[in-house]
Chain A
Amino acid sequence: MAKAEFDVPELQEYVEVPELVEGTMAHLSPFVAKPDHNTALGFPGELVDDWHDKVLDKLDDLRSRYRSLQVYLDACVKCGACTDKCHYYLSTKDPKNMPVGRQDLLRKVYRRYNTFAGKYFPWLVGAKDLTRETLDEWYSYYHQCSQCRRCSVFCPYGIDTAEISMAAREILDSVGYGQKYCNEIIAKVHDKGNNLGLPGPAILDTLEGLEEDVFDETGVEVKYPLDVKGAEILLVTPSADFFAEPHVDGLIGYGKVFHEAGVSWTLSTTASEAGNFGMFIGSYENMRRVALRIRQAALELGVKRIVFGECGHAWRVAYSFLNTLAGPFDFLDPRYPVPQHICEFTYDLIQQGKLKFDKSANDDMTLTFHDSCNVARATRMGDKPGGQFDIPRAVIKAVCNNYVDMDHETIGEKTFCCGGGGGLLTDDLMEVRVKGALPRMTALQNVIKDEGVTHMAAICAICKSQFTKVLPYYGMDMDQIVSVHQLVSNAIILTGQKTDEDETDADDDA
């Protein structure tokens, strides 16, 4: 088990709703952004002197631009429906990690300065003055929200804490109080084209390495093209897919699927990142700028379709926002949705019977599937509502013999976040990441014990990175998290592929 400087929760059979303990997470804040990372994004470098007025001005500005924010600040009746729904509350007991507790940090300031009751009777409605301490409290607790939207499922008015968190982070950025992790990464995307700052030659080198590996393994020349003009499909995938485990195994899988489909495809150096951290900080301007790279790359390469790799928040920005931010995509082939998810792409081929699998290649594993929060509650796949749950499972079941779902209260629209989403995937927030994984780890452990599950598949770069880090804290192995297209890659039989054993000739009809 990994060493920790904080208490790792013990896994029980169920996650009990704890009695609240105030202030347990008040000490935790992420590193503050350096001035040049703030200015690169169009924000002041450091906390401005007139932050008090600027914060209130920005709140007014956002309320006039986002209906969600205005309605959600007004509509909450404090019914308590959300109070036991956040994975961070369940594991930290800190009431400011209850969705309504988190929202109220901003709402009490809104009430104080923008409502009749709060102006004249602040004590009556829980309105509070905006102070320097308020800013620190926002900075701390709005960076303990993974914007997973689980609370919004249960709220009778659909209040989404993610909307409030995004607004609060944008307000903080607007006065020069940005978060290092997010802002440094967005600066890298603007500069280099991906979150990791990987230069083009490094990506090319990696892709050539993959081609060699796949050739050695299968004897088939599967291509992993970069910046190929005139290709039919532009694949946009999280940059972690270029090197991290188990992400890269997923990328190998995408390439094999494209190869078997017989379509030409390419990656792009300038759009070598699916993730859009502009969403995490609530900045429409930054989110748009990051999204426009993809449009630009599609135009320059002259592709007909855009497909996204496995990534959760990225799929939200792609599915729900890309058309808004960087559309219209009337220059692409109108027969296909823009963009498509790689799972949709693979699923369609499976439906058409165009892919051949040897499911036994995954027989060393019994699998379960982790619904990534933003895929589950902010996007869709296919034509029908809920396709985002059915299609990845259908793909897994097409390539594996052993599959079991986790507790139904913890999957689908009620899925628990991995604990690392929404701009929290940084070592300085490890405590809240490990604790926040508790509900998912509990459900996983139960299927490990009861159903013999050995591995959990996911379709999100953040989930994969987070679980790789966090599983060991709970006594599990980091390689128990796998990519869905890694499973596809294991099982797919490429045309002309050399067989490992002669014995497969005997049961060729299988």
Chain B
Amino acid sequence: MSTVYALLFIVATVVLVVGLARKIVQYAKTPAPLKIPTTPAPVTQSGVVMRMFREVVFFESLFKSTKWTWIFGWLFHMALFVVLLRHLRYFMDPVWLPIQLIQPIGVYAGFAMLIGLAGLLARRIFVDRVRYISAPSDYLWLLVLLFIGISGLMMKFVAHTDIVMVKQFFTGLMGFSIGTLPIDLPLIIHLSLVLVLMILFPFSKLLHVPGIFFSPTRNQVDNPREKRHLADWAKAMEE
């Protein structure tokens, strides 16, 4: 059992890293032949960095759009970020001080994450426009994340898992030595769904994570008159 999970985690990590790298290379290699920033847009590179920062950290455009989606979406993503930071303690020994300090907040973040996901799910079900555009996979992603959160919190508040053992398993795995996992239902659910998420990430709409950084409407400097912008394939037409 532990061996199977150990192998699955190695496979999932490879799929995640290689899959994402392939998409990032594809995005980076594909030219953006025209200047198409959504204006008003920054006129300097540092301005673009600020715009991207506001977009990624505060979800600026979503905030302009619809406050409910912004509240739930932002809550979920920020909480997930804190929860992920909290989980770093299972992969390092000794644990960095910032990660130690974040531990209590991480528990609250776990609940915040569930609230955010529940709100997004409710919106998907009850708003007719969002229901219309939703495919089964859109609901399934929310359910996967919800169950990851619920099973995680269960290990904290309902049925304690031997997390020292879990930590030994993962720190060991990082050195390619296979340890043993405690056999607890919440842990198995938690880890199985995380595996699903890792493996499907590069083939799914979760590609919005690298995608935002390559979005020409957000990452281009508004300076077409000052600087000539020319893609290679367009340049070839001039020769």
Q: Chain A residues in contact with chain B, CB under 8 A?
A: 17, 19-20, 63-68, 70-72, 74-85, 95, 98, 100-101, 104, 115-117, 123-126, 149, 152-160, 163, 284-285, 288, 319-321, 323-324, 327-328, 337-339, 376-380, 383-386, 388-389, 413-414
Which residues on B sit within 8 Å (CB–CB) of A339? 225
| Residue pair B69, A81 in contact (C-beta under 8 Å) | yes
Q: Which residues of A contact B228 (CB under 8 A)?
A: 323-324, 327-328
B212 engages A75 (CB within 8 Å) = yes
User: Complex Cα distance A98/B200, Å?
Assistant: 28
Chain A residue at minimal CB-CB distance from B208: A75
Closest A-chain residue to B123, C-beta based? A80
Range of interface residues on B (Cβ < 8 Å) = 35 or more
| A124 and B215 within 8 A (CB) | no
Q: How many A-B residue pairs have CB under 8 A?
A: 213
- Given A85-B65, A376-B39, check contact A80 B129 (CB 8 Å): yes
Complex CA distance for A154 and B66, rounded to whole angstroms:
9
| Chain A residue nearest in CB terms to B59 | A156
Assuming A19-B128, A158-B38, what are 10 further A-B pairs, CB within 8 angstroms? Answer: A17-B129, A80-B123, A80-B129, A82-B65, A124-B135, A124-B137, A160-B36, A319-B225, A320-B224, A323-B225
Q: Mark B174-213, 1 if CB is under 8 A from A, else 0.
A: 0000000000000000000000000010011101100110
- Are A153 and B64 in contact, with the CB atoms below 8 A? yes
Given contacts A68-B216, A115-B203, A324-B33, contact A126 B135 (CB under 8 A): yes
CB of A74 within 8 A of CB of B65, answer no
Whether the pair A77, B203 counts as a contact (CB closer than 8 A) is no
| Cβ B39 vs Cβ A324 within 8 A | no
Given the interface pairs A115-B203, A156-B55, A380-B40, the reply to whether A76 lies near B208 with Cβ below 8 Å is yes
Q: Is B23 in contact with A98, judged by CB distance below 8 angstroms?
A: no
CA distance A386 to B226 in the complex (A): 17
What is the bound-complex CA distance between A327 and B33, given in angstroms? 14
Kindly state whether residue B144 has any CB partner on chain A within 8 Å. no
A80-B133, A154-B64 in contact; A67/B31 too (CB < 8 A)? Answer: yes
Partner of A123, one of B40, B136, B231: B136
CB distance from B233 to the nearest CB of A (A): 6
Question: Is B55 touching A152 in the complex (CB atoms < 8 A)?
Answer: no
Distance in angstroms from B155 CB to nearest chain A CB is 28
Complex: A431 Cα to B185 Cα, angstroms: 59
> Taking A80-B127, A81-B66, A380-B39 as contacts, is the C-beta distance between A74 and B225 under 8 angstroms?
no
| B135:A125 contact, CB within 8 angstroms | yes
**Distance of A235 from chain B, by nearest CB (Å):** 17
Query: What is the bound-complex CA distance between A319 and B135, given in angstroms?
Result: 39
CA–CA, A430 and B2, complex, Å: 66
CB neighbours (8 Å) of B120 from chain A are 79
Whole-angstrom distance between the alpha carbons of A386 and B234 in the complex? 29
A438 CA to B54 CA in the complex, in Å? Answer: 33
A-B interface, 8 closest residue pairs, ranked by CB to CB distance from nearest: A75-B211, A126-B135, A158-B217, A154-B65, A385-B40, A80-B130, A81-B65, A83-B129
Q: Judge if B106 is at the interface, Cβ distance under 8 Å.
A: no
* Chain A min CB distance to B180 (Å): 33
Contacts of B204 in A (CB 8 A): 117
Provide the B20-55 mask, 1 if CB < 8 A to any CB of A, else 0.
000100110011111110111111000000000001
A20–B201 alpha-carbon span in the complex (Å): 31
